Structure 1
Amino acid sequence: MPVQFLLNLLIAVLWVFLKDADTFKIPDFVTGFLIGVVIIFLMHRFFGTPFYLKRAYSMLKLLWIFNYELWTSSILIMKQILLPSATFEPGTFSYETKLKSDWEVTALALLLMLTPGSVVLRISPEGNVFYIHAMDVKDSKPILLKSIQMYEKIILEVTRP
């Protein structure tokens, strides 16, 4: 991945020098960088690794999904707090994850901790079982499980080629 990015920067710098050797212009560099993206995309199969911007796209997708989940869970928590007739049942449940590395497990735990209404109480010593506290187990557990599975999928896209 870093080789592809460095090669793309080299193509951009070469483009700037070929355009006009006297001055360095940002628009020329951006144009060269975009030309380099196209060239590297067409030739990435020769590197033996996936195209390097695929991981950047996955990171942006993870950020977008997290913000969406943050927004929807915040609305759910506000509804539970502000409606006087609403009764909720706090509780805990466990979830077994398919993530393996420490980074992946930590990222999932942090994403769950930042989502309103849920807290990761403990992670098993093996790192594959999460013990999660939910503000309302009856209503929010299915939503939280769906979010966890979506987070796992995106984290795997980011970390594994």
Structure 2
Amino acid sequence: MVKQFLMNLLLSFIWVALTGTLYYSNFLFGFMIGFAILWVMNRTEEDQRYFTRVPKTIYLLFYFVYELIKANIQVAYDVITPKYFFKPGIVKYPMSARTDLEINLLSTVISLTPGTLILDISEDKKTLYIHVMYLKDKSSFIKQTKNGIEKRLLEILR
């Protein structure tokens, strides 16, 4: 999988060198062209993880940016208006993540979202304690996080 990623980067840089313009959009276009070329060349190989993980990673990135913007708007609206809408609470979140890398990435992504903060991880590494600034219902928060960011993150890592 690393070999395909490095080859994709090399094809992207070759594309940038051939076109002569070093812009992010041109590099991303070259990355997409390189991804398509590698996919066509490696369709018969057994290891297709790279070609499933790259689209899932891009989808996770867009999902996280959407959640980040939504949370920022909620916090900014609460700061601007004279009335406070926040209802803080602490949630005991049961994780499906098991390895240290999965737990670390999950807790980092949750903490990066405004209005949430990781307080602690249990000793058995099965539970996260999360402070949520806008907590309406604990079960809906757990369900949204489990079906949202954790599901998408674990699809990439496993």
Asked if TM exceeds 0.5, the reply is: yes
Give the corresponding residue for 2:2: 2
Give the corresponding residue for 2:131: 133
Give the corresponding residue for 1:52: 50
2:136 is paired with a residue of what secondary structure? helix
CA distance in 2, matches of 1:9, 1:82: 44
Instruction: Mark the CA change 1:72 to 1:143 in structure 2 (over 3 Å): closer, same or farther.
Output: farther
Amino acid across the alignment from 1:86: Y
Instruction: Mark the CA change 1:85 to 1:6 in structure 2 (over 3 Å): closer, same or farther.
Output: closer
Tell me the CA shift for residue 138 of structure 1. 2.3
Tell me the CA shift for residue 82 of structure 1. 2.2
Larger radius of gyration: 1
- Structure 1 residues 33-48: aligned runs within 5 Å: 33=34, 34-40=36-42, 42-45=43-46
Most deviating of 120-129 and 78-87: 78-87
Deviation by residue 1:133-160 (Cα, 9 ceiling, x = unmatched): 1113226873575134311111111111
The TM-score normalised by the length of structure 1 is 0.71
Runs of 4+ in 1 over 3 A off after TM superposition: 2-10, 32-36, 139-145
Instruction: Mark the CA change 1:155 to 1:110 in structure 2 (over 3 Å): closer, same or farther.
Output: same
Structure 1: segments with no counterpart, 5+ residues: 17-24
Give the corresponding residue for 2:74: 76
| Percent identity between the two aligned chains | 31
CA distance in 2, matches of 1:98, 1:144: 12
RMSD: 3.0
1:44 is paired with a residue of what secondary structure? coil
The TM-score normalised by the length of structure 2 is 0.73
- Structure 1 residues 4-153: aligned runs within 5 Å: 4=4, 26=18, 33=34, 34-40=36-42, 42-45=43-46, 49-138=47-136, 142-143=140-141, 145-153=143-151
Deviation by residue 1:29-79 (Cα, 9 ceiling, x = unmatched): x6x944443020x2123xxx2242221222211111110000001111122
Give the corresponding residue for 1:22: none
Amino acid across the alignment from 1:155: L
Amino acid across the alignment from 1:44: E
CA distance in 1, matches of 2:8, 2:58: 20
Alignment check: 8 A CA contact 1:118 1:134 kept: yes
